[in-house]
Amino acid sequence: MTITLQIPLLLSSFTAIDGRGVDVHITSTGCLLVYQATNIIIHGLLIHHCKAQPPSTVMGPNVKVITLGQIDVDAIRLATTRKVWIDHNTLLRHGYAHVANNFYQGWEQYAIGGSVSPSIKSEANFFVARNDAGNKEVAWRKWEKGLWNFYSVGDVLKNGASFSKQTGIGGAKPNYNQEQNFKVVDARSIKELTSESGVLRYSRSLPC
């Protein structure tokens, strides 16, 4: 399924979009926008070829017209949001992200990156660098200057993968309360846990 947007898709609070098990592509103008919303889950979507958009208006919750500034080519744009879970988002502009229990293999420029001094905790992920002499560094930051806070906890690094750009080593900030806390499994289990992930492939002649 391919969804071609004519204007950005604005997500309201307490929304979940789950594309696991199916092949869903979202493309074209603006892509997804989370604006002044909370408790959002976005999982298993392929968002690509997003186009920039000049300042415009969109219809928000309760038939409220919202004025937006220039929209970049971000697949998902977050503005004044909290409690947002995005599965497999590689670049964090600013703020804090806890990246846990993912399988990364064969990245080109980076596996996890930041552009405006974010804080990123990479925990119990499994990283496998490419076989060639390409970039084997996991973390990337757009500018060398800034209040960078990238650190790795319990990650598995294979085939020469490295996580060298670590500053501010320590516990997760902000700290989770009991409601927000979740269990992180050992990184050595990640390949097995993710072996059946992705789009469900089946044949009419074979049982599922």
Are 96 and 8 part of one and the same domain? no
- Provide the residue range defining the domain that includes 49: 1-87
Residues 78 and 58 in one domain: yes
The parts of the chain modelled with pLDDT lower than 50 are none
Last residue within a domain, chosen from 87, 104, 124: 87
178 and 119 share a domain? yes
Q: Evaluate whether residue 201 is within a structural domain.
A: no
Residue 39 covered by a domain: yes
Phi-psi label, residue 80: left if phi above 0, alpha if psi -120 to 50, beta otherwise: left
Distances in Å between the alpha carbon of 66 and those of 17, 30, 36, 53, 57?
22, 15, 11, 15, 5
pLDDT at 156: 95
Q: Of the candidates 25, 60, 87, which is a domain's last residue? A: 87
For the segment 77-122, what is each residue's pLDDT rounded down to a tens digit? 777 777 776 666 677 877 788 888 999 988 888 888 888 778 888 8
Domain count within the chain: 2
Q: Let me know whether 74 and 143 are in one domain.
A: no
